[in-house]
Amino acid sequence: MEYNEELVAAITKAVLQQINEQNVSQTDRQHIGSAKTSYANARLAEKSTNPKEVVVGVGPAFQREIKATITGIPLDDVLRNIKAGIEEEGMVPRIVKVLKTSDVDFMGLEAAKISGSGVGIGLQSKGTAVIHQKDLYPLSNLELFPQAPLISLEMYRAIGKNAAKYAKGEKVTPIETQNDPMVRAKYQVKAALMHIRETEQVDPKIPIIVWEEA
Amino acid sequence: MKRSKRIETLDKRPVNMDGFINEWPEMGFIAMKSPYDPNPSIRIENDQIMELDGKTRDQFDFIDQFIADYAIRKDRAIASMAMPSLDIARKIVDISVPRKEILQIVSGITPAKMAEVINELNVVELMMGMQKMRARRVPGNQAHITNLKDDPIQIAADAAEGALRGFSEEETTTAVARYAPFNALALLIGSQVGRRGVLTQCAVEEATELELGIRGLTTYAETVSVYGTEKVFVDGDDTPYSKAFLTAAYASRGLKVRFTSGSGSEVLMGYAEKKSMLYLECRCLYVTKGSGTQGIQNGSVSCIGVAASVPSGIREVMGENLVAALLGLECASSNDQSFSNSPMRRTARTMLQFMPGTDFIFSGYAAEPNYDNMFAGSNFDAEDFDDYNVMQRDMQVDGGLKPVKEEEVIAVRRKAGKAVQAVFKYLGLTEVTDEQVEAVTYAHGSKDTLKRDVVSDLMAAEDMMKRNITGVDIVKALAETGFRDVAESILNMLKQRVIGDYMHTAAILDENFNVMSGVNTPNDYMGPGTGYRVEGKRWEEIKAIPHIIDPNNF
């Protein structure tokens, strides 16, 4: 079994610190974060007819409340690599933020539904990703990357590429599955805290908004 | 500060890599009892429950309503609710009170009362409770059969070996979702090569899983998930009612089905509503009971990292297993997910179910190396087989497995691979080469096997579904390619759904396809000298571990 002990120690420390701060301040034990960001004036994302398009639906806390994945990869870099992957295949990325849900499968499906090609990517702020297609069942998918701690920037780029290939109707070889059987022991508590943070930002009244202008 | 070498050494121990967190009820990080848990209460008017655990009917969410309408015996509620929780807890561990009497009492209590009862019991008492309350007389075990490559040959070979080792049920899932039909097919064939009568399932998206079941490519289902708060249900586009319909859909085709729940899921989804994990899991189990399904897979399951992070979390996990048994449900008691870097801690966690015995101690045990386990790692894996067998022998406990001989392992693995090769050829699916079968026969995991053409496999799997291939086609393919015995086994598995007896609580099949369930072989434990004892042929089997010193060699 291989793991980076320093990294694990650093994360454990960071999480504990966060928890201790919560316990000390006690000002608001009902939320992990501070005030909710308002998207009341945001522009709702619309369905497109451009068949060259792959829509990336990012999570409610993406790039605002949460700026890096569970292993600390900056979300700006994650998004840049996914977009590069899509563009390398000659397709066009469109970035929206899903506020209706924080579930990665449903986020991916929402993105796919408004995508001109019918293919979308769901991307949680902790880094979990899915490639979805508009006609699939919500909890099914084209490719799922459930273990966020194992996803590198190269893999995010490959996820963008594969999504674009599905959009073009090509026969696609799925990205080789990664598995770390100890991932739960190392990251599940942190995953829970990050997901709670993300879920605090859910707002079903503003289901899906424009996140990056084209 | 100058560091103590002792403390430095301890800091580096694997257990300190695990995630721990203080109790935080507002976020649901609380195992057994939250200050926000409701007090037990019930009010019945005109044969309808009008108040449940502090809420009146007009305040019910859909879980409360489902439980009030379907999961509590109204004719027993007044008497049972009047009984102090401590008295019920004492009856559970009292060997002179039979299981049946407990089932009757408990059928009239509410979820909050159930949580209160469990809070009275320490871990040993929870184990004593399980020893008596488990539905089936003989404990059982379930395996996970998966690999990183979704290689159908390896699935068949690992299934055959797992069946040979004693697992009564085998579960697969996919690395790539679209492989599901192949995984289900390979598992069905491999399991019957190893030991006739082993039940199989493919854990995937619910509609796909149902279709595989209806087609006869699986023989039971488990991945029907229920949750303890309304918001988590809604997030998954679901309700208790839709789960009940799904149960009925399986039942209509004579398929065994159990639900899946487990503490921590509501925390992980961000909607725990400040309640304790135990109370929320009680709600899940009442929904399960109310829907009419025979059993549950629970014990935190994939959220074990959350339950294990809080004080008394592992006790809570055993507590929720016992709640399942108290409600008369088959309990497949998890132990199926890695949660600790410490071998000592992961073993200790499993002892709570291993020692008293549950209907399925693991759900399941990784019958491949954990790097191939597509449920993100189980608590025990193929490399722990001998440790497990020795623990059975040390304590004279039936954990559902047995030692095997190397030549038998090789033989069943090869036969399973050959059978899948023949079926794939007969049905015009993808090619399986002799070299692939040979590599898998002697393999430990997917690092030892050959590469498959994934794109062709996925196209063929899709095509197999489009062509409406069913279990009967598999029987025909096996019969016409020289695997008549395997064909007969699968035909017998298909017949079970016509007979229907294996839909009874906690049913498994022996090698002659006889059902052993909580109905025809109920647990009759009432203290020393009663109940299931490890003896006779089974004890000889457990004793026969390899690597025994032979005194004649001195």
- Residues B449 and B153 sit within 8 Å (Cβ to Cβ): yes
- Residues B418 and B438 sit within 8 Å (Cβ to Cβ): no
Whether the predicted pLDDT of B497 surpasses 80: yes
**Interior angle at CA B228, CA B227 and CA B234, nearest 5:** 60
Is A181 close to B208, i.e. CB distance below 8 A?
no
Rounded CA separation B455/B438 (Å): 23
pLDDT bracket for residue A146 (50, 70, 90): very high
Peptide bond between residue B364 and the one before it cis (omega within 30 degrees of 0): yes
Q: Does A137 touch chain B (CB under 8 A)?
A: yes
Whether the predicted pLDDT of A27 surpasses 50: no
Rounded CA separation A197/B73 (Å): 40
Residue A150 maps to a domain: yes
CATH number, position A192 = 3.40.50.10150
B161 is catalytic: no
Rounded CA separation B127/A143 (Å): 41
Residue A163 maps to a domain: yes
Strand, helix or coil for residue A145: strand
Q: Does B176 touch chain A (CB under 8 A)?
A: yes
Q: Say what the pLDDT of residue B44 is.
A: 98
Nearest partner of A9 among A201, A190, A214, judged by Cα? A190
Per this entry, what is the length of chain B? Answer: 554
Q: Say what the pLDDT of residue A34 is.
A: 66
Residue A134 maps to a domain: yes
**Average pLDDT rounded to a whole number, residues B209-224:** 95
Contacts of B479 (CB under 8 A, 6+ apart): B487
Q: Say what the pLDDT of residue A10 is.
A: 67
Rounded CA separation B521/B502 (Å): 12
Rounded CA separation B88/B80 (Å): 9
Query: Chain-wide mean pLDDT for chain B?
Result: 97
- Residues A54 and A185 sit within 8 Å (Cβ to Cβ): no
How many Å lie between the alpha carbon of A183 and the closest alpha carbon of chain B?
7
**Average pLDDT rounded to a whole number, residues B473-478:** 98
B142 is catalytic: yes
Residue A15 maps to a domain: no
Residue type at position B507: A
Helices (H) and strands (E) in chain B, counts: 24, 13
Residue A192 maps to a domain: yes
Whether the predicted pLDDT of A22 surpasses 60: no
Measuring CA to CA, how many Å separate B11 from each of B84, B340, B342, B402? 45, 15, 13, 37
Question: DSSP assignment, residue A149?
Answer: G
Sheet holding B295-297, edge to edge: B220-221, B256-260, B295-297, B330-332
Active-site pick, B80, B201, B225, B297 = B297
Contacts with A138 from chain B: Cβ below 8 Å? 236-237
Element (H, E) at A92: strand A92-98
How many Å lie between the alpha carbon of A81 and the closest alpha carbon of chain B?
22
Q: Does B370 touch chain A (CB under 8 A)?
A: yes
Contacts of B336 (CB under 8 A, 6+ apart): B144, B297, B301, B362, B363, B364, B365, B375, B378, B379
Nearest partner of B133 among B300, B331, B272, B268, judged by Cα? B331
H-type alpha helices, chain A: 5-25, 75-88, 104-114, 153-168, 183-200
**Average pLDDT rounded to a whole number, residues B500-510:** 97
Active-site pick, B85, B131, B142, B265 = B142
Give which of A184, A199, A201, A203 to mutate to test B binding, by max B Cβ within 10 Å. Answer: A184
pLDDT bracket for residue A20 (50, 70, 90): low
Facing residue for A19 by CB, picked from B21, B237, B374: B21
Active-site pick, B171, B316, B384, B457 = B171
Residue B332, number of CB atoms within 10 A of its CB: 33
Nearest partner of B169 among B333, B339, B409, judged by Cα? B333
Contacts of B511 (CB under 8 A, 6+ apart): B195, B196, B197
B-proximal residues of A, 62-81, CB under 8 Å: none
- What ipTM describes this predicted complex? 0.85
Contacts with B35 from chain A: Cβ below 8 Å? none
Q: Does B309 touch chain A (CB under 8 A)?
A: yes
**Average pLDDT rounded to a whole number, residues A11-23:** 60
B363 is catalytic: yes
Token pair belonging to A136: 């699939």
pLDDT bracket for residue A25 (50, 70, 90): very low
Q: Does B9 touch chain A (CB under 8 A)?
A: no
Rounded CA separation B444/B441 (Å): 9
Residue with more model confidence, B554 or B89: B89
- Residues B361 and B136 sit within 8 Å (Cβ to Cβ): no
Rounded CA separation A180/B231 (Å): 30
B336 is catalytic: yes
Facing residue for B305 by CB, picked from A101, A146, A184: A184
Residues of chain A above pLDDT 70, percent: 85
How many Å lie between the alpha carbon of A37 and the closest alpha carbon of chain B?
17
Q: Does B98 touch chain A (CB under 8 A)?
A: no
How many Å lie between the alpha carbon of B86 and the closest alpha carbon of chain A?
33
Phi then psi for residue A182, to 5 deg, are: -105, 10
Rounded CA separation B146/B174 (Å): 7
Angle subtended by helix axes B240-252 and B62-70, to nearest 10: 50
Whether the predicted pLDDT of B454 surpasses 60: yes
Q: Does A125 touch chain B (CB under 8 A)?
A: no
pLDDT bracket for residue A185 (50, 70, 90): confident
Rounded CA separation B257/B250 (Å): 7
- Residues B270 and B311 sit within 8 Å (Cβ to Cβ): no
Whether the predicted pLDDT of B139 surpasses 90: yes
How many Å lie between the alpha carbon of B524 and the closest alpha carbon of chain A?
38
**Interior angle at CA B387, CA B383 and CA B393, nearest 5:** 145
- Residues B28 and B316 sit within 8 Å (Cβ to Cβ): no
Q: Does B175 touch chain A (CB under 8 A)?
A: yes
pLDDT bracket for residue A26 (50, 70, 90): very low
Q: Which residue is closest to A204 within chain B, CA to CA?
A: B235
Q: Say what the pLDDT of residue B223 is.
A: 86
Q: Which residue is closest to B455 within chain A, CA to CA?
A: A173
Domain count, chain A: 1
Q: How many CA atoms lie within 13 A of B120 on its CB side?
A: 16
Is A186 close to B341, i.e. CB distance below 8 A?
yes
**Average pLDDT rounded to a whole number, residues A5-32:** 60
Whether the predicted pLDDT of A130 surpasses 70: yes
Rounded CA separation B329/B322 (Å): 10
**Average pLDDT rounded to a whole number, residues B444-470:** 97
Is A188 close to B268, i.e. CB distance below 8 A?
yes
Give which of B11, B26, B27, B146 to mutate to test A binding, by max A Cβ within 10 Å. Answer: B27
Contacts with A196 from chain B: Cβ below 8 Å? 27, 267, 270
Size of interface A-B (CB pairs under 8 A): 140
- Residues A84 and A122 sit within 8 Å (Cβ to Cβ): no
What value does the CA radius of gyration of chain A take, rounded to a whole number of Å? 17
Facing residue for B267 by CB, picked from A147, A186, A192: A192
DSSP string, A44-73: BP-----TTEEEEEE-TTBTTTB-B-TT--
pLDDT in tens, B252-284: 999 999 999 999 999 998 899 999 999 999 999
Contacts with A180 from chain B: Cβ below 8 Å? 376-377
How many Å lie between the alpha carbon of A213 and the closest alpha carbon of chain B?
29
Active-site pick, B80, B363, B421, B517 = B363
- The 3-class SS string of B262-323 reads CCCHHHHCCCCCCCCHHHHHHHHHHHHHHHCCCEEECCCHHHHHHHCCCCCHHHHHHHHHHH
pLDDT in tens, B377-400: 999 999 999 999 999 999 999 999
Strand, helix or coil for residue B56: strand
B-proximal residues of A, 86-115, CB under 8 Å: 101-103, 106
B444 is catalytic: no
Residue A5 maps to a domain: no
- Residues A117 and A91 sit within 8 Å (Cβ to Cβ): yes
Residue B504, number of CB atoms within 10 A of its CB: 18
Facing residue for B235 by CB, picked from A19, A103, A181: A103
Q: Does A190 touch chain B (CB under 8 A)?
A: yes
Q: Is the dihedral of CA A200, A202, A203, A206 positive or negative?
A: positive
**Average pLDDT rounded to a whole number, residues A40-62:** 96
**Interior angle at CA B308, CA B9 and CA B139, nearest 5:** 115
Residue that is written with structure tokens 């996820």 in the block: A159
**Interior angle at CA B197, CA B328 and CA B157, nearest 5:** 120
Is B306 close to A15, i.e. CB distance below 8 A?
no
Name the β-bridge partners of B508: B516
Question: DSSP assignment, residue B551?
Answer: G
Rounded CA separation A163/A145 (Å): 13
B222 is catalytic: yes
- Residues A102 and B270 sit within 8 Å (Cβ to Cβ): yes
Strand, helix or coil for residue B38: coil
Residue numbers of the domain that contains A100: 44-210
Residue type at position B242: S
Residues of chain B above pLDDT 70, percent: 100
Token pair belonging to B188: 């069905």
Residue A120 maps to a domain: yes
How many Å lie between the alpha carbon of A74 and the closest alpha carbon of chain B?
23
Q: Does B455 touch chain A (CB under 8 A)?
A: yes
Name the β-bridge partners of B144: B171, B366
pLDDT bracket for residue B553 (50, 70, 90): confident
Is A177 close to B374, i.e. CB distance below 8 A?
yes
Angle subtended by helix axes B123-133 and B85-93, to nearest 10: 70
Q: Say what the pLDDT of residue B134 is.
A: 98
Q: Does A19 touch chain B (CB under 8 A)?
A: yes
How many Å lie between the alpha carbon of A214 and the closest alpha carbon of chain B?
30
Q: Taking the mean position of all CA atoms in its chain, how far away is CA B340?
A: 19
Q: Say what the pLDDT of residue A16 is.
A: 64
Strand, helix or coil for residue B206: helix
Residue A159 maps to a domain: yes
Contacts with A143 from chain B: Cβ below 8 Å? 176-177
Per this entry, what is the length of chain A? Answer: 214
